[in-house]
């Protein structure tokens, strides 16, 4: 990266990672099984967070623990992606500090990336670290996974009712 900052000063941003809000607190979520029969578990947002009260082992092999949850009890369930524009090109943000952002060029434009001093990992993968003062339209895009789950659940219930 450039002289501005180091990766250790930058906090990672969620990139399509599912997050939930339950009782006003944010968690990660995981599940096992398929479809509407899938069981879901809340897990700590950060590994150094305290253990969750009421957590059970949901993966014997790994010893992973989480709180069993019915998705209908969640306040929110979403995935997010952060985006911004730099010099007219769109980027997906991966890390951010108070005054800088790291991002990957959205779309392949090798010549433009090279001309603008981005780090090139291959012809289709270019990244850079930018002062926030040079970035435009820094924003979060959220996908409402709770609404999608409820829609699937409601469709399955309608189908079940029709078949009775």
- Residue 64 CB burial class (10 angstroms; 0-12, 13-18, ≥19): middle
pLDDT of residue 52: 79
- Residue 86 CB burial class (10 angstroms; 0-12, 13-18, ≥19): buried
Q: What is the pLDDT of the chain when averaged over all its residues? A: 88
pLDDT of residue 37: 72
- Cα dihedral 36/140/10/41 (nearest 10): -10
Say if residue 2's pLDDT is above 90: no
pLDDT of residue 13: 81
**pTM of the complete model:** 0.72
Between 26-35, 79-88, 106-115, the lowest mean confidence (pLDDT) is in: 26-35
């Amino acid at each position: 990266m450039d002289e501005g900052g180091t990766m250790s000063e930058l906090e990672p941003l969620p990139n399509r990672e599912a997050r939930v809000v339950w009782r006003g607190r944010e968690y990660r979520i995981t599940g096992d099984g398929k479809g509407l029969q899938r069981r879901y578990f809340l897990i700590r947002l950060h590994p150094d967070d305290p253990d969750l009260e009421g957590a059970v082992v949901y993966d014997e092999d790994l010893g992973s623990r989480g709180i069993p949850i019915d998705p209908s009890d969640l306040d929110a369930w979403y995935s997010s992606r952060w985006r911004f524009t730099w010099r007219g090109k769109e980027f997906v943000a991966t890390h951010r500090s108070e005054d800088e952002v790291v991002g990957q060029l959205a779309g392949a434009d090798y010549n433009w990336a090279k001309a603008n001093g981005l780090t090139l990992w291959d012809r289709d993968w270019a990244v850079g670290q930018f002062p926030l003062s040079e970035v435009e339209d820094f924003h979060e895009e959220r996908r409402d996974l709770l609404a999608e789950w409820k829609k699937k659940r409601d469709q399955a219930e309608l189908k079940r009712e029709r078949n009775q």
